[in-house]
Structure 1
Amino acid sequence: MRVARSLVLVSLLPLFAACQLLDGSRESASHVGQTRMQGQLSAADGKLLFQPCGEQRRYAVNDTGGTSVLQQAASLADAQGKLFADVRGRIVSGSGDGQLDIEQLYRIEQTGHACDDPDFKKLILRATGHEPEWSVRVSGKGMIIDRVAQPPLAVPYVEEQLGDGRFNLSTEANNQHIELWVAPQRCVDSSSGSVLHMSAELRIDGQVQRGCGYFGGSRDD
């Protein structure tokens, strides 16, 4: 766990690492000059580095947005000290490949396949929860609800904005009233320890199941 320990040593430094660039269709004024990226985080020479998906460049991470990404990386680091991160920031010139100023953290998790997720660019939102297991995938075509011991349920939905970045998606399907409530609140997955930027509640006929969520590549909030 030598590299994992090095992540702890740099947990107070403003450094990170990035991957795949997205051209969001819903980019707000506050995102001018910033890019959403996915990639791998690793520690080297006392720094956190971000390597974008499919690239060789590695950027030193500077947590300008106060996202606590360094502390999260230290607590989640695996034996190789590598993590997947989904962030928004600005690349600036500097020594080596340069520096990535992180403004927003969408998620950080232990996974070796997130760069290859074929659904990411098509998704507006993904939310998951546990005990019992459930997941919701939202796209422009509708949302798909997966629950334990039940077949996937594909339904249309209506979105309602509630202010302060909160919103809900609702539908009437199979004589059930289904709602997904989402709020911009840091959420820790109770199973994997992954950190995501949104909390979520799946409500079906009044029964509430809690979980976490994040925006996919089709939504650039």
Structure 2
Amino acid sequence: MSAFRSALLFSMLPLFAGCQLLNLQSSAPAKVSTAGMTRMQGTLTGDNGKLLFQPCGEPRRYVVLDRGNTAILQEAAGLADAQGKVFADLRGRFNASKAEGGDGQLDLHQWYRVERTGQACEDPNFKRLTLHADGENPVWNVNVSGKGMIIDVQGQPPVALPYLEEQLPDGRFNLSSEANGQRVELWVAPQRCVDSKSGALRHLSAELRINGQAVRGCGYYGGSRND
């Protein structure tokens, strides 16, 4: 067992015990509203039996408590780099008051992305996007903003299109566009998705259809979408 995985495991054992007790009391806990919560990106690491989150560009580190039962321990452990760190895109309540072993506390309720550390903190497009989706075979990606969506498929020039968004049951939605005789649709669902190439985890599954031909992939909300 790696040092990172071990540190994460032991930091979360009290939480697991608490979750089991809660489940005995109620089999259908009420859904927690994310109103008033903050979304941040940064790095997760295990340190002295605690799981710590350090936001991008900040020196502060927050002790993470997995209030939303997101399974962040399991999700992060397999993606750690040589320094025992992973990049994470999270939402929760940040308490800046001093916490033992950190500079504050994060009551975590949702994750959007968990991936190996890289340049995600420096992504210049994140804040203006409402949605990003990508996949393999062939390589493709879609960037969506309030101005339209840009579709980039391997072997073809990028195409910028206007779109209509249709909300569907269970948090699903569809983006569609018709231009130059082509029908383009992007179907999105709130479902854990693993990138087939990098192993990165996303909170959305996605399917891109161009004239009825479908390719599958994963996605996540950009910084300008308030979910």
Q: Same fold (TM over 0.5)?
A: yes
- Identity, in percent, stands at 66
* Equivalent residue, structure 1, for 2:60: 57
Match for residue 192 of structure 2 among 159, 166, 186: 186
In the aligned structure 2, how far is the partner of 1:217 from the partner of 1:128? 17
* Equivalent residue, structure 1, for 2:218: 212
- Tell me which moved more, 86-95 or 139-148: 86-95
Shift of 1:8: 5.4
1:73 aligns with 2:76: yes
Letter in 2 for 1:142: G
Shift of 1:182: 0.3
Shift of 1:42: 1.1
1:59-101 CA-partner distances (Å, limit 9, x unpaired): 1111111111111111111211111100100123432312111
Q: CA RMSD in A?
A: 1.9
Match for residue 155 of structure 1 among 161, 165, 173: 161
Provide the secondary structure at the position in 2 that maps to 1:76: coil
Greater helix share, structure number? 2
Provide the secondary structure at the position in 1 that maps to 2:59: coil
1:159-206 CA-partner distances (Å, limit 9, x unpaired): 011121110000012211000000011111111111110000001111
Provide the secondary structure at the position in 2 that maps to 1:31: coil
Note the residue ranges of structure 1 that are not aligned, 5 or more in a row: 16-28
Pairwise mapping of residues 63-212 of structure 1 onto structure 2 (< 5 A)? 63-92=66-95, 93=97, 94-95=99-100, 96-212=102-218
Provide the secondary structure at the position in 1 that maps to 2:57: coil
In the aligned structure 1, how far is the partner of 2:171 from the partner of 2:5? 36
How many positions carry a matched residue from both structures? 208
The 1:11/1:127 distance shift into structure 2, 3 A limit, reads farther
Shift of 1:114: 0.6
Shift of 1:58: 0.3
Provide the secondary structure at the position in 2 that maps to 1:137: strand
8 Å CA contact 2:8–2:50 kept in 1: the answer is no
Letter in 2 for 1:87: L
Pairwise mapping of residues 42-53 of structure 1 onto structure 2 (< 5 A)? 42-53=45-56
Letter in 1 for 2:186: L
* Equivalent residue, structure 2, for 1:26: none
In the aligned structure 1, how far is the partner of 2:106 from the partner of 2:45? 14
Provide the secondary structure at the position in 2 that maps to 1:209: strand
1:22-44 CA-partner distances (Å, limit 9, x unpaired): xxxxxxx9222310111111111
TM-score w.r.t. length of structure 2: 0.86
8 Å CA contact 2:43–2:117 kept in 1: the answer is no
In the aligned structure 1, how far is the partner of 2:129 from the partner of 2:76? 25
Q: Considering Cα pairs closer than 8 Å and 6+ residues apart, tell me whether 1 or 2 has the greater RCO.
A: 1
Letter in 2 for 1:145: I
Note the residue ranges of structure 2 that are not aligned, 5 or more in a row: 17-31
In the aligned structure 1, how far is the partner of 2:11 from the partner of 2:115? 16
